[in-house]
Amino acid sequence: MYVCLCNAVTDRQIKQAIASGDNNLSDVKKRLGVANQCGKCAQLATKIIQSAVSERDNFYEVA
Ligand code: FES
């Protein structure tokens, strides 16, 4: 689903950015441009980022 309409960024792209090492909205903003125009997507993007970081970190704890 599209998270950032201004930049056509999807939740899948955000999750891939987290898997590639991004850790927060600032990192994802630099990589994908999310939330760099109207900013309406920032809250949802942050929730997706936090969830993806948590999943990634839990995966590495178990592995
Ligand atoms: S919807 Fe993301 S900056 Fe506007």
Distance (angstroms) between ligand 1 centre and the Cα of 16 equals 19
Q: For the chain, which domains are there?
A: 2-62 (1.10.10.1100)
Q: What is the pLDDT of residues 17-44, one digit of tens each?
A: 999 999 999 999 999 999 999 999 999 9
Q: What is the pLDDT of residues 10-20, one digit of tens each?
A: 999 999 999 99
| Reduced DSSP (H G I as helix, E B as strand, rest coil) percent helix, strand, coil of the chain, to 5 | 60, 10, 30
Distance (angstroms) between ligand 1 centre and the Cα of 55 equals 25
2: helix, coil or strand?
A: strand
| Confidence check: pLDDT of 62 > 70 | no
| Confidence check: pLDDT of 63 > 70 | no
Ligand 1 touching residue 5 (CB < 6 A): yes
| Confidence check: pLDDT of 53 > 80 | yes
